[in-house]
Chain A
Amino acid sequence: MTVSPSTRSRITVVMVLLSAAILVLVGQLVRWQVVERDDLLARAEEEHRVQVAATIPAVRGLIYDRDGSLLGGNLTTYDIGVSPDMLRDDEHRQQLAEELAPLLGQEPETILEKISDASLKHVYLAFQVPQETAHQISALDRRMITQEARNQRVYPQRALASHILGFVFSDKADRRGYSGAYGVEGFYDSVLRGTPGVGMAERDPFGAVIPISDAHYTPPSNGKNLILTIRRAAQRVIERELQSALAEYQAEAGTVVVLEPRTGAIVAMASQPSYDPNRYAEEAAVNPDIFIDPAISLVYEPGSVVKIVTVAAALDSGTITPDRMLFDAGAIEVGGSPIRNWDNQAHGWVDITTVLGLSLNVESAQIAVELGAERFYTYVRRFGFGSTTGVDLYGEVSGSFKTPDDPNWSESDLGRNSFGQAIDATPLQVASAISAIANGGLLMRPYVVHAIADGATLLPTAPKPVRRVVTAQTAHTVTRMLEAVVEHHTTLAQVPGYRVAGKSGTSQVYVPGGYHPTATIASFVGYLPPDDPAILILVVIKRPKASPWGGQVAAPVFSRIAKQLVVLLDIPPDDVRRQAFSQPVGWNSQ
């Protein structure tokens, strides 16, 4: 058979067209499969994958005390809701209301009122319902009931150590819906919160999740646990004693700090008034300032406690010697301002120990003048005044005092500062500064987290020396003087069986325009045993009415607390240590 030329040409055209079409197809396939492969794959992933759950929340880390007692934990609670549009009729609504009422502790009528509008897709009936109740509601097997789980922070010891712990509050701005505030909850929020996980799965064209698809699950990384330096038994002792002291002396507020001078670890720290972090919302409605920790966030004038710093600075710089005698005329003028003793008396020739024991303002000012402003303020700064201690708690403030660099400073400030007036400091700053004397001259950074537990790994906090403030010899000399102060002068601070080194302080309360005529802040700081201090205790009582003096108000509280802590913390009395080590205990015999 012969093929006509026209047929042949037609076949050729068809072949060419078909080849061209195939080439286009092949080209397009090469483009999709090779050139744009990665981009198209990514687009397909994006289109077909969907987050099954927006996030899988991480469990917030727990908080334990030094002995392993739980101070802050988590509880799963449920928000219970109903979809009224799924309820058929009034009878159905009535039946559901009667079933739920006893479980939710509500009247059936109340529930009925909430679910009466059949046009609503969803209404909440109750929030933060306990797990057991949620299980009972699940057993009803009603499709229209919804249960949304949420983590709730719980503090099983109630108000104990609330200022140290802080709390967790609902935070709409945060994607998890909550944030830590104040205390360790605020300071260590990023450690405690962990990282949420994500669940991803493929969906079909209708948006439904394909159960056999390639699902991706990134588990949440739970928050790390904190082990505090706080011992809850010691914490309870100071809270109870502080509360009873406020009642006894009709005082407004108070703070107690207990430190380990060698390490800077905070054994206990409490302020009154306090609050229950489980009920932070109710507390905030009554007094939003209640959450501020007075131990680290509020300043006061420490008063005569600062004389310890003045004397230590003068001894360390060689301005005075321990046996230096000073003549007390009862008054002195510094920078044009007269300074008098608290008792308005003149005591004649006195030694340095007596200056501290009788808490003489005149001699303190005299020593500071001899020391000179530059050296005095250098030592004050070295002891940590005017800067934060670096404690790992939320909201610490630095305190302040005027120096010769300030335009409104005058020499009279030097005189007043020497006995603790016009110096603003937090109770923790004062405790930390005097710890430097107790431990032999090292300023330690106070800390409240003993260790961070990441699973089975424990990351302990190493005690951190900030700087040496005075020589060990100076520190020992001052300690011996403070020991004599408690032995001969501030006797209410004594602890039977133990030698104590300490000093009281009484300061006026600063009010706009000057000082309050009668209100005072009474304080006492002491440590024991003086030769090898295990604990330092600072007691601050604000505006006591029964007596204005630190030696009469704060010293007995110190004594009561110390008597209990030596038992709880296993600090043997001096005679036991003497017997056990078969060597004399105390400075005088060394």
Chain B
Amino acid sequence: MSTHTLHPVQTLLRPGNIAQRFIWRLERRDALGILLVIFIVSLVGWLYLTQANAIASVNLATEQNRDLLKAVQSDNARLKIEIAEWESLGRIEARARELGFAPATTALYLSVPGYSVHEASVWEASRLELTP
């Protein structure tokens, strides 16, 4: 009967030895490493999902606010038009006539003693942007 000598590599690759080596490492150090990796991956995943959720929420809220702004601006524009229509001279004149008003045909100017017309004119001119 001849003895069969195993090559060192073959010895290393024997299933029993692999399991023994793996179990040894799992127990000692790798288990901690794997746990750490799992923890970090979970943390990154959790952070990613949280951020994605936050971005999606913000995007949704932005869209809703944008729609709301658009609606408010549309309402505002409509109200401006309505106000302008109510304030149109035709309507004002008609309403004034109903209330017994008549068109002003003359203006009455009152003289105020001590009032400087020159200074008032300069002030008025500056108000109307006529002076540089």
Q: Which residues of A contact B (CB under 8 A)?
A: 1, 59, 62, 69-70, 73-76, 131, 149, 154, 156-158, 160, 211-212, 215, 232-233, 236, 263, 460, 563-564, 566-567, 570, 572-573, 576, 579-581
Contacts and interface: CB of A to CB of B under 8 A. Distances in A.
Contacts of A131: 74-75, 78
Contacts of A70: 80-81, 83-84
B89 A236 contact: yes
B109 interface: yes
A contacts with B: majority SS? mixed
A504 B112 CA distance: 39
B109 A73 contact: no
A212 B89 contact: no
B81 A460 contact: no
A202 B80 CA distance: 38
B14 interface: no
B80 A73 contact: yes
A73 B111 contact: no
Contacts of A212: 52, 55-56, 59
Given A59-B73, A212-B52, A580-B117, A563 B81 contact: no
A567 B106 contact: yes
A573 B109 contact: yes
A567 B102 CA distance: 14
Contact of A580 (B56, B60, B107, B111): B111
A422 B87 CA distance: 45
A567 B89 contact: no
A265 to B, nearest CB: 11
Interface residues of B, number: 33
A76 B89 contact: no
29 contacts: A1-B7, A1-B8, A1-B9, A59-B77, A69-B87, A70-B83, A73-B80, A73-B81, A73-B84, A76-B74, A76-B78, A131-B74, A131-B78, A154-B81, A156-B81, A157-B84, A157-B88, A158-B88, A158-B90, A160-B88, A211-B56, A212-B59, A263-B130, A564-B105, A567-B104, A567-B107, A570-B107, A572-B109, A580-B117
Contact of B77 (A74, A158, A573, A580): A74
A59 B78 CA distance: 13
Given A74-B77, A131-B78, A563-B105, A69 B84 contact: yes
A158 B91 CA distance: 12
B80 A576 contact: no
A160 B87 CA distance: 13
Contacts of B30: none
Interface in B13-43: none
Contacts of B84: 69-70, 73, 156-157
Contacts of A263: 130
Interface string B89-131: 1100000000000011111010100000110000000000110
Given A73-B77, A158-B90, 4 more contacts: A131-B75, A157-B88, A157-B89, A580-B109
Given A563-B105, A572-B109, A75 B77 contact: yes
B58 to A, nearest CB: 10
A76 B77 contact: yes
Contacts of B8: 1
Nearest to A159: B90
A435 B9 CA distance: 112
Contacts of B85: 156
Contacts of B55: 212
A69 B56 CA distance: 44
Closest 3 pairs (CB-CB, A-B) = A156-B84, A1-B7, A70-B84
Contacts of A236: 89
Contacts of A215: 59
Contacts of B73: 59
A506 B103 CA distance: 32
Nearest to B58: A212
B81 A576 contact: no
Contacts of A1: 7-9
Given A73-B84, A157-B89, A567 B56 contact: no
Contacts of B104: 567
A211 B111 contact: no
Which residue among A74, A160, A570 has the maximum number of chain B CB atoms within 10 Å of its CB? A74
Contact of B117 (A158, A460, A570, A581): A581
A475 B105 CA distance: 31
Contacts of A157: 84, 88-89
Which of A232, A233, A580 gathers the greatest number of chain B CB atoms within 10 Å?
Answer: A580
Contacts of B56: 211-212
A215 B55 CA distance: 10
Nearest to B124: A570
B77 A576 contact: no
B105 A567 contact: yes
A569 to B, nearest CB: 10
Nearest to B7: A1
A302 B72 CA distance: 52
A448 B42 CA distance: 69
A233 B89 contact: yes
A572 B56 CA distance: 67
Contacts of B75: 131
